[in-house]
Structure 1
Amino acid sequence: MTKVYPNAASPLPQVCGGECRELEADPVSAVLTVWKKSLIFNCDGFTVFGADGRLVYRVDNYMFRNKGEIVLMDALGNCLLTVRRKRLSLSDSWTVFDGETADNPRFFVRKSANLLNTKCVASVTSAGGGRSKNEMLYEIQGSYPRRCCTFYDDKRRQVAEIRQKESSIKGVDFGADVFRLVVNPGMDAAAAMAIVIVLDQMYGSSTARFFLTN
């Protein structure tokens, strides 16, 4: 069986045609392999490996937990960020908090409803904390179901990318459950992973969304 975690020497493949530009990883960029699977039995979640194959982040969604809340943890199980859905929002909208409390919102992620900008799938805005509330931080363009998304900051600089992962073994396909998250300097990798979690709720499988909206 081919390994899910990355080979540090493997290149970043171009798999999305003209819709996604090739992102050449900076020497200090974080190149993560995201596996849409929890390491704990009977849990839905994510397992994220670094370029050296070590566990970096994990998400373990227990069925008995708050169904509108997802916790991003480090390799030791410490809570880094908490993602919560806005229940009364007219749009598909989520808030990302520092740690496990609801006292320190970091940013908001909203599903795009702009019919004039069909490339945009979600927008990320500030929750305050030194910046104006609802100030634009990032725009995500592309297609999450195809694992082909580009993150742009407020100056239109490409700061992160979701891209399909190819196996080094010919004929072996990881499918949509294993993909790369490349985060360039200047963007927090944990924040990028939190955005991935929200995108999965917005555009992922109906089974995953069911657990968090009912």
Structure 2
Amino acid sequence: MGFTEESSYLPQQVSKPICVVSPQFVCPHPFDMLSGKKLLALSDGNFGVTDVNGNLIFKVKGKLLSVHGKRLLVDAVGNRILTFHKKLTSARKRWQCFRGDGTDSRDHLFTAKLSNRTQFKTSLDVFLASNRNQDVADFKVKGNWFEKRCTVFAGESTTVIAEMSKKLNVQNIAFGVDTYTITVYPNVDYAFIVAIMAILNEICEEKSDDDEK
């Protein structure tokens, strides 16, 4: 998976576990998920994330309730895992993510900042809360939203820690369902990766809405 121009980058075993949200979301083996807006009824959230067997893992909620871009990442039974929202005063699009349902600085986990966006390609720089200077990104996300592909890298390296690509099958095409495969590589926090993908989805949906105006 990944985009064509990044095909020389191969997934590598990270030297130590990447745990941003919680150790419970770190697996010692590759972890595959499916995500899509139409996996859920509109009233049940913005989009859902399931395992490959269709069991619900996460939901992203809040789009219908908030004018300030506040979103909640909840698990299958509704426990609030993360809160993320757009920082309205930022010149570049910037999202902040917090543990649970608060927005207190002590619960701040990471910030995702739009670093580049063209007609089709979108890039994010992700800074952990401990990276106060934000001179160098802790993670980078490079995506081609037109092709529905993106790759998450560890820092400035070529180490791939997760990928997303559009899942094509006869059922999806026939019913117009947008479903994506997310592969998270070993020892990487998959809740963190889902949060990044949700933020990227929000940014690209905003762009689509702007283009239609």
TM-score class, shorter: 0.7 to 0.9
TM-score by length of 1: 0.74
Q: Percent identity?
A: 24
State yes or no: 1:107 paired with 2:93.
no
Shift of 1:125: 0.9
Are 1:199 and 2:213 matched, yes or no?
A: no
Letter in 2 for 1:159: I
Q: Is the 8 A contact 2:63 2:69 kept in 1?
A: no
Q: Deviations over 1:146-183 (max 9, x none)?
A: 2111110023310000111122x489467672111111
Q: Work out whether residues 29 and 187 of structure 2, in 8 Å CA contact, stay in contact via their aligned partners in 1.
A: no
User: 1:48 is matched with which residue?
Assistant: 49
Contact 2:11 2:160 in 1 (8 A): no
Q: Which residue identity is paired with 2:84?
A: V
Q: RMSD across aligned C-alpha pairs, in angstroms?
A: 3.3
Q: Distance in 2 between matches of 1:51 and 1:99?
A: 26
More divergent stretch after superposition (133-142 vs 49-58): 133-142
What aligned pairs does 1:4-15 form with structure 2 within 5 A after superposition?
A: none
- Specify the SS of the correspondent of 2:62: strand
Q: Which runs of 5+ in 1 are unaligned?
A: 1-13, 210-214
Cα separation, partners in 2 of 1:153 and 1:58, compared to 1, 3 Å: same
Cα drift, residue 98 of structure 1: 0.7
Higher relative contact order, structure no. (Cα contacts within 8 Å, ≥ 6 residues apart): 2
- Which blocks of at least 5 consecutive residues in structure 2 are unaligned? 14-27
The equivalences for 1:1-214 within 5 A come to 18-21=4-7, 28-37=29-38, 39-42=40-43, 45-61=46-62, 63-103=64-104, 104-113=107-116, 121-128=123-130, 132-134=132-134, 135-154=136-155, 155-167=157-169, 169=170, 172=173, 177-204=178-205
Q: Distance in 2 between matches of 1:207 and 1:119?
A: 13
Structure 1: which amino acid aligns with 2:198? I
In 2, the alpha carbon distance for the partners of 1:190 and 1:84 equals 16
CA distance in 1, matches of 2:83, 2:67: 12
CA distance in 1, matches of 2:186, 2:73: 20
Q: What is the letter of the counterpart of residue 90 of structure 2?
A: S
- Preserved contact between residue 38 and residue 44 of structure 1 (Cα < 8 Å): no
Asked whether the equivalents of residues 59 and 72 of structure 1 are also in contact (C-alpha less than 8 Å), the reply is: yes
**C-alpha offsets along residues 54-102 of structure 1, whole Å, 9 cap, x if unaligned?**
1111113352335320001111111111111111001000001111011
Distance 1:99 1:149 in 2: 26
What CA distance in whole angstroms lies between the structure 2 residues aligned with 1:174 and 1:136?
Answer: 39
Q: Closer, same or farther in 2 for the Cα pair 1:174/1:195, shift >3 Å?
A: farther
Cα deviation for residue 30 of structure 1 reads 1.2
Of Structure 1 and Structure 2, which has the larger fraction of its residues in helix? Answer: 2
Q: What CA distance in whole angstroms lies between the structure 2 residues aligned with 1:156 and 1:174?
A: 37
Distance 2:175 2:6 in 1: 19
Superposed CA offset, 1:127-157 (max 9, x none):
11xx555252111113123211111002331
TM-score by length of 2: 0.75
